[in-house]
Chain A
């Protein structure tokens, strides 16, 4: 027997809340933009002139996406796609720097100096969030199909 739309809506709701919570916990990026710009620079993946612009934009993209997930159902799917794309990019960046042997943290919550150096734990955490975002998109689609 196929699960009903309520189950999919519940799964989607839980996944969205977890993802939004994780994104909003990085509010320090907005309070201390220089710290986050430094964290973005330390990935050594962007040309120097783009570092600050991308850092400023990403920190707000996270917050806006989180608010859409929680408060604006019409924009939930769009926000989920953005979150999924961001998580895939971050995970790729972490993996590359892990291979390079970087001693810095990922800056996921604002400051790369204060965080533990990059490790498999961060990679697994991001991988789990990617799976969660994908599950939320799947549950969203199934809840629409079922209703």
Chain B
């Protein structure tokens, strides 16, 4: 058993060394320590908003969920999730009527923006939550991920 324990230790150490060397020379290296609490996803979690990936929202498109595009209107016009409603976070005041209708409809609302780096969708979701929306999801990977994975897309008429 002592020999096995030593060998286990050797393998654990060898893996740590391999990871260290690989992450030093890797073209897609990542920082050893990262502040995950500043990520949009962590902030959404703190705000009590459910974060979902592509696999969870793709099946709901056109069924029981309304997609809300929080990006600026010109980005929405260039291409959006099929059937998505445009409510740019920075022009929210102009869309209060639409927001109220969506909340009253009782449908699941899926907010998204461009990708994991933008927080427009999170800010919009937080506002919707404050206005009484309960069935609220944040598609954190956003439109870039939607396109990359082949989700249905359309351009505004």
State whether A60 and B19 are in contact (beta carbons under 8 Å apart), knowing that A37-B30, A49-B33, A81-B8 are contacts in the complex: yes
The winner among A55, A57, A78, A112 for most chain B CB atoms within 10 A is A78
Task: Give A64 to B12 CA distance when docked, in angstroms.
Answer: 9
User: Scoring A residues 66 to 91 as 1 if CB is less than 8 Å from chain B, else 0, what string do you get?
Assistant: 00100000110111011000000000
Check if A61 sits within 8 Å of B12, measured CB to CB: yes
Check if A56 sits within 8 Å of B19, measured CB to CB: yes
Chain B residues whose C-beta falls within 8 Å of the C-beta of A64 in the assembled complex: 11, 14-15, 18
State whether A52 and B4 are in contact (beta carbons under 8 Å apart), knowing that A113-B53, A113-B141 are contacts in the complex: no
Check if A48 sits within 8 Å of B23, measured CB to CB: no
* Secondary structure dominating the interface of A: helix
Let me know if B28 is at the binding interface, CB within 8 A: yes
* Secondary structure dominating the interface of B: helix
Interface range for A: 35 or more
Task: Give A48 to B29 CA distance when docked, in angstroms.
Answer: 18
State whether A33 and B26 are in contact (beta carbons under 8 Å apart), knowing that A52-B32, A81-B8, A114-B149 are contacts in the complex: yes
Chain A residues whose C-beta falls within 8 Å of the C-beta of B19 in the assembled complex: 56-57, 59-60
Check if B7 sits within 8 Å of A105, measured CB to CB: no
